[in-house]
Chains A and B, each alone.
Chain A
């Protein structure tokens, strides 16, 4: 067991572009992920096994870096919800695309999470990251002290602050825009998931039809019977092709655009959380200013101190936030572009292959007397 992390800064010893979640192992109800990272110096890799709790441990450490100025202005890479074997319907709904299939997408999402942390100028310096990626023992499971970075939907009082008018037009615009985009992205991702699930149902139905047709094959040397049987066999093959086509279409949807929409949706939420933290700080600052103004001479100096501290912190946060927003906007456009291009290319290839297959079936059928 590792000691609690005391130092905060370090340099990552792995290549941040080469972190891979290569496998997932099922152990009863829990899942273990194998993470392989490339050493920066020399050759060699780190192979570590981590459970979801370990990812949370990492996240908590990153959240609780109170010594880092403006840390609250960071848009934290979002960690996917916890995956479980035999997950309930509610959990599956929450996971959305990531819950499909045999966790390949989930691994991809975790991988993205780690890579984004490793690439972050502030976050990558945290020693917890190094430990997480390189230590052969699992990182400590002790509860890190509660931090303020938890769910947005804390208390009703907190919720009220969400709508608090901003002093800075840049941030007000960003907040408004984020609200709209986060909603749209979430809806679009959910709707896309519906499409994919229906496509999967169609694939299954095609498979059933294909199988059922085989039962219609009639024995006998009668030429008409044979013609009918051949037709049934051919149709069965056609529907088998259709099943494969539909399955590919659904897979393409999931692995490119689905994944992209999922990430976009979660990242918009992460930005929302950052903006909310800043807004809360703003409220705190305004309150501190009022207190300092109204303070009786006895308390005045202390209130002024508080006010100054709040101002400094708020400035730091705004500075970091502006950088983060710029980086975020660039990164998400790039990510979405890649997702769209890959999606289009894969679907185009599948459509061409499918057309070719249908054509062949048609030629064969026409050739059959």
Chain B
């Protein structure tokens, strides 16, 4: 029974093919050759990719230790294992070579930089299918070499002022960073602060800013009291994993990566304490998203949508959000039942152990005790399955519901841009009318001023129109990118889940095979 309940993940065996699977990385900051980042397939996609990717059949995972190490990562009981810093499930190892259309780069050169912002401005007349194709092509060529990991949650301080600090490690080959690998310590409010800064700046451009995990007063209070009980551990692990996914999504976004705030977040030793994050509590976050919608709804000038693409998409987004919520509810129920099963299996195992102890017949007694041990092992399996269900699906769904919310925010930003344009036009119109009146009234000095104002407002109108077009382009691009990411994300999570399920079943087969001779030996 001891072997299976061993929860410390050992380092991955050295027999793994170099360059394909993760290798033993002694220290996250080391530059040893055989790490996954020299692998040209390592692409940051902001997506949780499976790490034990091998072309060999899954028998490779028949070793219990290894299996428990993979799944323990998602369980997150011991995430402070430097050996597996970038080799954990959330690392970026592109799914192997069977995705020909994937964005795997062939050379890790840093010359493949992000597109300059000027490519966003296109003439509005070019809103035709061809430009869309070009957009898609650009998307598939964009690839970046930045990988981040969030690990080592550590409680700092005591009592109600305590907080949890995480290690944020970055590996990159991009020149804009000071070094190739580095790490800093950040706390949750730092992540929130980053989100706020990005939202203020980037949402004007129509980007989908990935939202971080919500605040949780209940969760954090438990942690402040003590980090040892299972629910605290689970909470911290859940948050750590969510923060990691959040950062991965941020760095895999071409424009966000360029933002100096992002760089500062990743590189700077000490960050000034983010204070205005009170607004970003669970409820506050939703408020922020809905604020944009409210503004749109209160508009007196209803936007006449010349491009039905946006209307249709918006509707799709709303529908999808609904469906994902439904799925989320079902998954939550499934996770709960699995946890229940853990409990009842453990209780049953105990009662069988008691029966075995009381039994006179030696062989029967032995078999019953073995049965109790098998059931104990199964409880462990059920735990891992519950964790799988949760970390792979429940969190995925939660992430995407948040992302869809962010996307709705983008659409609303576009409408606001349209509003500003219309308002500018209407102001311009008023100015022209005023000028006309002045012409009639023959007041040359005021006329000059009026003409100046008209020029000013003409410029403004042009600017706002350009902004509106630009934001429209960005939103389209973002939506395309989102859909691509979503398809990949879901697919890779499903693969990850299947791999975990397969491992479970194989271990189960081993348990039963071991038990069978015991059962037969009863005379």
Q: Which residues of A contact B (CB under 8 A)?
A: 177, 180-181, 184-185, 187-188, 191-192, 194-195, 198-199, 201-202, 205-206, 208-209, 212-213, 215-216, 218, 222, 224-225, 227-228, 231-232, 234-235, 238, 242, 329, 333, 336-337, 340-341, 343-345, 347-348, 351-352, 354-355, 358-359, 361-362, 365-369
Contact = CB atoms under 8 A, between A and B. Distances in A.
Contacts of B283: none
A227 B491 contact: yes
Interface stretch (B14-22, B344-352, B455-463): B344-352
B340 A344 contact: no
Interface stretch (B258-266, B468-476, B512-520): B512-520
Nearest to A353: B505
Nearest to B378: A195
A202 B336 CA distance: 9
7 contacts: A180-B358, A184-B354, A195-B348, A231-B487, A351-B508, A365-B498, A366-B495
Given A194-B348, A337-B519, A337-B522, A359 B330 contact: no
Given A224-B484, A228-B490, A337-B523, 15 more contacts: A191-B344, A194-B344, A195-B344, A198-B341, A202-B341, A209-B331, A213-B327, A227-B487, A228-B486, A238-B501, A337-B520, A348-B509, A362-B58, A365-B491, A365-B494
B505 A238 contact: no
B344 A358 contact: no
Contacts of A224: 480, 483-484, 486-487
A187 B348 CA distance: 9
A198 B337 contact: yes
B327 A216 contact: yes
B334 interface: yes
Contact of B334 (A194, A206, A235): A206
A234 B359 contact: no
Nearest to B102: A369
Contact of B348 (A188, A227, A337): A188
A352 B509 contact: yes
Contact of B101 (A191, A368, A369): A369
B502 A209 contact: no
B509 A351 contact: yes
B342 to A, nearest CB: 9
Nearest to A238: B498
A188 B351 contact: yes
A264 to B, nearest CB: 9
Contacts of B4: none
B306 interface: no
A337 B364 contact: yes
A358 B320 CA distance: 28
Nearest to A227: B487
B506 to A, nearest CB: 6
A222 B499 CA distance: 28
A362 B495 contact: yes
Nearest to A179: B358
A201 B382 CA distance: 14
Contacts of A181: 355, 358-359
Nearest to A215: B323
Interface of B: 57-58, 95, 98-101, 316, 320, 323-324, 326-327, 330-331, 333-334, 337-338, 340-341, 344-345, 347-348, 351-352, 354-355, 358-361, 364, 367, 371, 480, 483-484, 486-488, 490-491, 494-495, 497-499, 501-502, 505-506, 508-509, 512-513, 515-516, 519-520, 522-523
Nearest to B327: A212
A329 B523 CA distance: 12
Contacts of B488: 227
Contact of A234 (B484, B494, B519): B494
B327 A358 contact: no
B137 to A, nearest CB: 13
Contact of A187 (B330, B351, B359): B351
Given A224-B484, A362-B502, A202 B338 contact: yes
A84 B334 CA distance: 32
Contacts of B359: 181
A216 B316 CA distance: 11
Nearest to A229: B487
A187 B352 CA distance: 9
Contacts of A340: 367, 371, 519, 522
A352 B516 CA distance: 14
A351 B486 CA distance: 32
Contact of B98 (A188, A213, A351, A366): A366
A362 B505 CA distance: 13
A359 B506 CA distance: 10
A368 B492 CA distance: 11
Given A184-B354, A337-B522, A202 B330 contact: no
A348 B352 contact: no
B502 A184 contact: no
B519 A341 contact: yes
Given A333-B364, A359-B58, A369-B101, A351 B512 contact: yes
B341 A359 contact: no
Contact of B323 (A192, A216, A242): A216
Contacts of B341: 195, 198-199, 202
Nearest to A211: B330
A365 B348 contact: no
A348 B516 contact: yes
